[in-house]
Structure 1
Amino acid sequence: MDSINEKTPLIPTTEDVSRKSRTRRVHYCLCFITILHYVTTIIGSLVMSEYTFQYISDQEGESSQLNSRHASSGENCSSHQNEAQHKSAQWNAYYEYVEYVPALLVVIFGGVMSDYYGRKLFIVLPVFGTFLQYFATLVVLQYNLHIKYFFVGCVIAGITGTHYTLNVALCGTIADVSNYDNSRTFKIALLHLYAGLGSVVSQLSTGYMIKYLGFTMPCLVAVAFAFLNLLVGLYIPETLEKSKQKPSKDSFYQKLGRFFAFYTSSSNLRDGKVWQFVLCLLALFVIISPYTTKSSMDILYFLGQPFCFTSEEIGWYNSLNGLTIIVSVFLLKLLHFCLNDEIIAILSCLSGIACFCVEGLASGWWMLGVAIGCGMIALNSLPVIKGIMSRLVNETEQGALFANVYVLETLCRLFGSTIFFNIYAETQYFMRGFVYFVYAGFIAMGGISMMPNRVVPSNIRTETGMSIVSSALLVAIDWVIEGIHQRSE
């Protein structure tokens, strides 16, 4: 203790005080930006999804139950709405294509260029794009225009990078102000905590706003929050020091090459091997894919039989889901006392498998509650794997790293929109929850991808560790098959 005190200055220098004050300001801004952004985007996406379903239902000559104050489980919710749900799923997929296809290039270059010009620019740009997107959406709602005009806002969001470019910059900012240890994983997980807070607030309030005020007022609220977020984005300090910025004299091909450098040689990594980096990306791909479409899928799933939820009931369910994100971050902190990141990632996958299986078999509120409980730590796999990858990469390459991560997530969104919405549309007639078992299968593949080598603690043999987790996965799969068989009977 004395030796530590001897190395610590008794009187902090002005530079130390300034650095601490700046770091504290960064963390406050990250908190506000993340919460405000998720409040904005969740309100906007809920309004778009539910307005789309309402619009198509009206076009089909049948009114939906979204604005009904006394909708019961059977009222306005019958098999004739299957066609409206089918078309709504297709339109939701179209929104995703129009928004995220142009976003791919923006995310790639946004992440790489943030290592050259800093993080702030790539925080402000997507926040500004979100403001413009929901302003355009507000116009559609105000004048009751055709849902095809939602594409205008989607294109604007796409060319400004969407929230994936924002996440690249936010994660790069965290890497700039944190150490190469579990604290970085936890700080990345805090972004999920802030997202959960934003989700709880927005999901519940949006349901009631839609019920009592219609679609325009919630969208107006989203526009106001987006503008406030833009102001906070302008206030956040730059965290990438000039000494760590890449030389701007690099050619276009040199800059683009930094994006692919992690796949060519282990010398481009701070620690570990190329195959470990690739396995982490593979795990992220199969784990993230279900979560990119789950929120929109839940809306379609709950609007039909046997749930027939109203907008505020959907809000309650999504708010409970948001609470699990908050709880999961604190559980992650506790798990770090006894487990390494790799084992936590596998346990999180098992939690996700259980959650999706129960939700796919659900027939009422109590089973949905069980699903939420089973998935208490499911989302921890995402920040944990990102933290592992961040520790594999040098501090001067964090922007390029997270560009890889969020380009992959953008591809997952496009892939998920193509696959999962179509699976739901084609299978709802014989088993409406079938898509959730497909989700569970993807999560299982992610858990398996995290098993080799570094996944197993040094005091446990690889074969033993893999057999334990594999056995658990087989038990879960057997339980799912049995549940499907019973439901079909």
Structure 2
Amino acid sequence: MAEPVAEEHSAAPLTKPPARRCLPLPAVEPLLFLSTLSVALQGPLATQYLWDRLGAEHGYSGHNSSSTTGCGNGSASDPLQKEVEALVSHWNLYINLGGFFAGLFSVTLFGPWSDSVGRRPALILPAVGMTLQAAVYLLVMYLQLHVAYFLLGRILSGLWGDYNLILASCFAYVADITDKRSRTFRVAILEACLGIAGMLASIGGGQWRKAQGYINPFWLVLSASLAAALYAAFCLQESVKQPRPAKLFTLSHYKAVYRLYTAPENLSSRRALALYSLAFFLLVTVHFGAKDIYVLYELGSPLCWAADLIGYGSAANYLVYLSSLGGLRLLQLCLEDTWVAEIGLLSNISGLVVISFATTTALMFTGYGILFLSMAATPVIRSKLSKLVSETEQGALFASIACVQGVCSLASAGIFNSLYSASLHFMRGFPFLFGAIILLIPAAILGWIEIWDSNHDYFHFSGASPSPADAQQQLSNKE
């Protein structure tokens, strides 16, 4: 179905809002880049620090004696190593769950609140929270505090909204300042910022840790978060046209998220909202799940990649964000956004199938190459979702999407890691094949909605006249 204009504005003229303005300068992309750089550096460094600290406490020092290639020499059977691996895995789980549940309530509180008071407060607060988390982590390292304080820092950041609130607010910010025609590409630019920041962190973080330990890289984590907070506070212009005071601690914000999916005024748009959200959930779960096991797959036989090849593979994986951005821009010249997303999904499915059967380095990199458009679908879905709600619901919408993304992270880790260990005896690449099969579902959802929309464009051939809401939907879709 076509993207409807919100019910609240049904009486307004069917013209572009006069207050919609061009991109304010400076833009929100630098803030997302800085925040993503902080998160992308922090995650691997924190995990490696846990490994070293817990390993030292249990008398294990074999983590630095790895072979030059990815295939080990049997040390994986060391019971002490297994104990340390289990401890690190458990602490990572506790830290991630603590941050997720704290963030779940704060994101759905701050996101709808930003629809009233503006986006800048919802960008400043989580950046400050991430700065506090980095400060706590630095204190743990300087003072050799118990690693449980990592959990405290993570919860503290979660209560301030955490990185998910920054994601939600940045995408809502772009929805505020763009029209429907240009929104998809601007959302794709934001996602490209994620890839560039992740690539820089992936390339530089590990080498920096080897050269100078953990503390100096964590000072960059703290500095990037602090710079993001200062940028939001002093440089970024407000995107909400008429910000107004609103209570923060009220259930109305949670109800706003609930109403997105249950309001009966426009059943067709709410149904589309639920279907797009399902497609987004499945797509992001596969993205996260595959990314979690790429390194494990490359380390093992028959690929047996060394550290340099793993680094090249990681860089190729992040370059997909940039190639998808360029591909999306070119394909938009001749295709509707939905069909661009379908091509992106085809790229993703084909690449995962090739990787699932990869037994040589050349075939593995061929799979990475086929994935060159795999990130084109997510900006299209985000853009489609934003067009289904009114301007005053963008914060609530992207807050709910941020929560969905958090659930994706947890679900993907459990599903794909479990599948990987369970399928080692018959097909090491089975999780990638499984992901490719799952992606057929969002491909079918997007195609079905587009065909349904096309059928509704033929209202004028029937004897019945379309309702005002349907007329507005058709006009919105043509924009």
Shorter-normalised TM-score: what interval?
0.7 to 0.9
Q: How does 1:344-423 map to 2 (within 5 A)?
A: 344-423=340-419
Return the offset for 1:103: 0.8
Return the offset for 1:356: 2.7
* Residues 456 and 325 of structure 1, relative CA distance in 2, 3 Å threshold: farther
- Which residue of structure 2 lines up, in the alignment, with residue 329 of structure 1? 325
Return the offset for 1:382: 0.9
- Which residue of structure 2 lines up, in the alignment, with residue 200 of structure 1? 199
In 2, the alpha carbon distance for the partners of 1:47 and 1:425 equals 25
Higher relative contact order (CA 8 A, sep 6+): 2
In 1, the alpha carbon distance for the partners of 2:348 and 2:121 equals 35
In 2, the alpha carbon distance for the partners of 1:402 and 1:258 equals 12
Single out whichever of 257-266 and 219-228 deviates more from structure 2: 257-266
Q: Deviations over 1:180-227 (max 9, x none)?
A: 22x101101110111122122111111211333333332222222222
Single out whichever of 186-195 and 221-230 deviates more from structure 2: 221-230
Return the offset for 1:308: 5.5
Single out whichever of 139-148 and 280-289 deviates more from structure 2: 139-148
* Residues 209 and 93 of structure 1, relative CA distance in 2, 3 Å threshold: same
CA contact (8 A) 1:355 1:372 kept: yes
User: 1:39 and 2:43 equivalent?
Assistant: no
Q: Deviations over 1:159-187 (max 9, x none)?
A: 12221111111111111111122x10110
SS of the residue corresponding to residue 240 of structure 2 reads coil
* Residues 435 and 453 of structure 1, relative CA distance in 2, 3 Å threshold: closer
CA RMSD of aligned residues (A): 3.3
CA contact (8 A) 1:52 1:147 kept: yes
In 2, the alpha carbon distance for the partners of 1:75 and 1:450 equals 44
* Residues 255 and 136 of structure 1, relative CA distance in 2, 3 Å threshold: closer
CA contact (8 A) 1:341 1:384 kept: yes
* Residues 216 and 134 of structure 1, relative CA distance in 2, 3 Å threshold: same
- Which residue of structure 2 lines up, in the alignment, with residue 472 of structure 1? none
Return the offset for 1:284: 0.8
Return the offset for 1:428: 4.8
- Unaligned 5+ residue runs, structure 1? 1-15, 462-489
In 1, the alpha carbon distance for the partners of 2:248 and 2:160 equals 24
SS of the residue corresponding to residue 110 of structure 2 reads helix
* Residues 38 and 417 of structure 1, relative CA distance in 2, 3 Å threshold: same
* Residues 427 and 211 of structure 1, relative CA distance in 2, 3 Å threshold: farther
User: 1:71 and 2:35 equivalent?
Assistant: no
Return the offset for 1:443: 2.2
In 2, the alpha carbon distance for the partners of 1:439 and 1:71 equals 31
SS of the residue corresponding to residue 152 of structure 1 reads helix
- Which residue of structure 2 lines up, in the alignment, with residue 99 of structure 1? 99
* Residues 77 and 338 of structure 1, relative CA distance in 2, 3 Å threshold: farther
- Which residue of structure 2 lines up, in the alignment, with residue 166 of structure 1? 166
CA contact (8 A) 1:390 1:401 kept: yes
In 2, the alpha carbon distance for the partners of 1:192 and 1:90 equals 30
In 2, the alpha carbon distance for the partners of 1:52 and 1:428 equals 27
Q: Deviations over 1:65-122 (max 9, x none)?
A: 5x87x72344567542794666655544333212111111111112111111110011
CA contact (8 A) 1:85 1:425 kept: no
- Which residue of structure 2 lines up, in the alignment, with residue 80 of structure 1? 77
Report the residue type matching 1:261 in the other structure: R
Single out whichever of 150-159 and 114-123 deviates more from structure 2: 150-159
Q: TM-score, normalised by structure 2?
A: 0.80
Return the offset for 1:247: 7.3
Return the offset for 1:426: 4.6
CA contact (8 A) 1:348 1:380 kept: yes
In 2, the alpha carbon distance for the partners of 1:405 and 1:273 equals 16
In 1, the alpha carbon distance for the partners of 2:50 and 2:169 equals 32
Q: Deviations over 1:208-258 (max 9, x none)?
A: 11333333332222222222222212121211122xx47738994544332
CA contact (8 A) 2:71 2:300 kept: no
- Which residue of structure 2 lines up, in the alignment, with residue 486 of structure 1? none
User: 1:343 and 2:339 equivalent?
Assistant: yes
CA contact (8 A) 1:93 1:421 kept: no
Return the offset for 1:300: 4.4
Q: How does 1:12-411 map to 2 (within 5 A)?
A: 23-27=23-27, 30-54=28-52, 59=58, 61=60, 63-65=62-64, 71-74=68-71, 78-80=75-77, 83=82, 88-142=88-142, 147-181=147-181, 183-235=182-234, 236-242=236-242, 245=243, 248=246, 252-265=250-263, 267=265, 273-306=269-302, 313-411=309-407
- Which residue of structure 2 lines up, in the alignment, with residue 482 of structure 1? none
CA contact (8 A) 1:168 1:406 kept: yes
Identical-residue share of aligned pairs (%): 25
In 1, the alpha carbon distance for the partners of 2:170 and 2:417 equals 29
Return the offset for 1:432: 4.3
* Residues 446 and 229 of structure 1, relative CA distance in 2, 3 Å threshold: same
- Unaligned 5+ residue runs, structure 2? 1-17, 458-479
In 2, the alpha carbon distance for the partners of 1:154 and 1:310 equals 32
Report the residue type matching 2:409 in the other structure: R
In 2, the alpha carbon distance for the partners of 1:265 and 1:283 equals 20
CA contact (8 A) 1:266 1:273 kept: no
CA contact (8 A) 1:211 1:311 kept: no
In 2, the alpha carbon distance for the partners of 1:260 and 1:383 equals 23
* Residues 99 and 428 of structure 1, relative CA distance in 2, 3 Å threshold: farther
Q: TM-score, normalised by structure 1?
A: 0.78
CA contact (8 A) 1:168 1:402 kept: yes
In 2, the alpha carbon distance for the partners of 1:295 and 1:215 equals 24
SS of the residue corresponding to residue 452 of structure 1 reads helix
In the alignment of these two chains, the number of paired residues is: 433
* Residues 49 and 368 of structure 1, relative CA distance in 2, 3 Å threshold: farther
Report the residue type matching 2:170 in the other structure: L
* Residues 314 and 217 of structure 1, relative CA distance in 2, 3 Å threshold: farther
Report the residue type matching 1:441 in the other structure: I
CA contact (8 A) 1:103 1:161 kept: yes
